[in-house]
Amino acid sequence: MTGKEKKAARRVLFVWLVFLAAVFVAPILVVLLNSFKGQFYITDEPFRLPTAETFVGLTNYAAGIAKTGFWQAFGYSLFITVCSVGVIVLFTAMTAWYITRVKSRPARIFYYLLVFSMIVPFQMVMFTMSKLANMLGLDNPAGIVFIYLGFGAGLSVFLFSGFVRAIPEEIEEAAMIDGCNPIQMFFLVVFPMLRPTAVTIAILNTMWIWNDYLLPYLVIGNKYKTIPIAVQYLQGGYGSRDMGALMALLVLSIVPIIVFYLTCQKHIIKGVAAGAVKG
């Protein structure tokens, strides 16, 4: 192939990629477009641009926010996600370090149980778990953080353990001789070394918890609505299904994700790749 041909081929590829990218973005743009149209003009002709007749400005947004209490849902989602991820990263890192270093039988059994939990589908425990959560008074935004710790522990401990094993024990032994107790050692020596893994785990868990629907719906859904529950609630009825409000809510729920993605893109892509290789 000559240089010229190569260049031409590249140009074709580039155009092709631009086309593909457009296909990937288009669905979101269609939703955005429809969020400005009257609710009865959406189902029938979703690809038509808003016209003077069908354009309703921000009415749909006002309706969607009012009907679902969107800001509150956003608050719950944020609170639950941030707290759960924080708790998961901290406690599973500690657990992973402990069970990797202490090679006792109970530690090993616990580790295998955790790994086992990764393959159990949620449907297996959804009923019993939500009942138990209610009996123990965990059916509130603080309690669900605890549930997420228990349910997310499997993957996170598994990933952390893999990296702990790669840390040479000599470093810790040296620190010990310097008079560190295990708690100091964990926070001053071990955790800093685990930081890249912690970022990966934080990102994987954020993606899971922020978007999770069934678990929060079953545990706290009737009283506290997270964003996915709010979207589904709007669809499920509330008098009449308002397609306009639904479109607006879809847009509102995508915006935070895009902001998060564009801010931490590098970490996310790296984290996903790292998480997958291990998982």
CB of 98 to another protein, least distance (A): 4
**Should residue 279 be labelled a site residue for another protein when binding is judged by CB under 8 A?**
yes
Q: How far apart are CA 274 and CA 159, in angstroms?
A: 10
Torsion sign across C-alpha atoms 165, 171, 177, 179:
negative
**Should residue 207 be labelled a site residue for another protein when binding is judged by CB under 8 A?**
yes
Q: How far apart are CA 45 and CA 51, in angstroms?
A: 12
Applying CB under 8 A, which of residues 8, 21, 49, 62 lies at the interface with another protein? 21
CB of 61 to another protein, least distance (A): 16
- Interface positions, 115-174, toward another protein (CB under 8 A): 117-139, 141, 146-151, 153-154, 157, 169, 172-173
- Interface positions, 210-239, toward another protein (CB under 8 A): 210-214, 218, 222-224, 227-228, 231-233, 235-239
φ/ψ (deg, to 5) at 138: -95, 10
Shorter beta-carbon distance to another protein: residue 159 or 247: 247
Q: How far apart are CA 39 and CA 247, in angstroms?
A: 9
Q: Which residues fall within 8 angstroms of residue 56, CB to CB, at 6 or more apart?
A: 36, 37, 38, 50, 244
Q: How far is CA 90 from each of CA 94, 145, 163, 171, rounded to the nearest angstrom?
A: 6, 13, 15, 21
Shorter beta-carbon distance to another protein: residue 5 or 44: 44
Shorter beta-carbon distance to another protein: residue 92 or 197: 92
Q: Which residues fall within 8 angstroms of residue 1, CB to CB, at 6 or more apart?
A: 9
CB of 201 to another protein, least distance (A): 13
3-class state of residue 87 by DSSP: helix
Residue 174 CA, distance from chain mean position: 38
How many residues belong to the site for another protein (CB under 8 A)?
A: 133
Shorter beta-carbon distance to another protein: residue 129 or 201: 129
CB of 80 to another protein, least distance (A): 8
Q: Which residues fall within 8 angstroms of residue 25, CB to CB, at 6 or more apart?
A: none
Applying CB under 8 A, which of residues 19, 55, 71, 112 lies at the interface with another protein? 71
3-class state of residue 138 by DSSP: coil
Whole-number CA gyration radius for the chain: 24
CB of 54 to another protein, least distance (A): 12
Q: Which of 129, 144, 164, 166 is nearest to 88 (CA)?
A: 144
Binding mask 30-69 for another protein (x = CB under 8 A): xx--x----xx-xxxxxx---------------------x
Shorter beta-carbon distance to another protein: residue 52 or 262: 262
**Should residue 89 be labelled a site residue for another protein when binding is judged by CB under 8 A?**
no
Q: Which residue is it, tokens 């629907």?
A: 213
**Residues 61/248, Cβ–Cβ less than 8 Å:** yes
CB of 12 to another protein, least distance (A): 11
CB of 51 to another protein, least distance (A): 15
Shorter beta-carbon distance to another protein: residue 3 or 121: 121
